[in-house]
Amino acid sequence: MTVGELRPYFLWDEDVSIAELRAVLAGPDTPRRDQLVAKMLREARDLDVWQFVRPLEVARLLERIRRRVGRRYEFWAFLIEGWRARGILN
């Protein structure tokens, strides 16, 4: 996950390198950014997600990208709500 020119395993169907993904994620909200975040939440291991986005960012976007996250939405909602309930995430 640190070699910029490699493709992340969770974007197996995209021609996007790790460096390109980081650039899109560092930019403003766009439909493409939402698409990549949703795909990452759906396909990546949860520990790998934190290498690209922060928990507050996931919490901010989760409802907006809910449809695209699919079955993994419940996992992410449970995680974020649990952190909020414990005061870890505001």
- Segment 47-61, tens digit of pLDDT: 999 999 999 999 999
Reading the block at residue 42, the tokens are 């759906």
What is the spatial distance between Cα 28 and Cα 6, in angstroms, rounded to a whole number?
Answer: 23
Say what the pLDDT of residue 2 is: 72
What is the spatial distance between Cα 52 and Cα 59, in angstroms, rounded to a whole number?
Answer: 14
Claim: this prediction has a pTM higher than 0.85: yes
Residue 2 belongs to a domain? no
Residue 90 belongs to a domain? no
Total domains present in the chain: 1
Reading the block at residue 58, the tokens are 């996931």
Residue 41 belongs to a domain? yes
Residue 44 belongs to a domain? yes
Q: For residue 36, what are the domain limits?
A: 9-85
Reading the block at residue 59, the tokens are 């919490």
Contact in structure between 42 and 61 (CB atoms under 8 Å)? no
Residue 70 belongs to a domain? yes
Residue 13 belongs to a domain? yes
Q: What is the mean pLDDT of the chain?
A: 95
Half-sphere CA count of 46, side-chain side, radius 13 A? 11
The stretch 40-69 carries a mean pLDDT of: 97
Consecutive H or E run containing 33: helix 31-43
pLDDT above 70 as % of the chain: 99
85: pLDDT confidence band, cut at 50, 70 and 90? very high
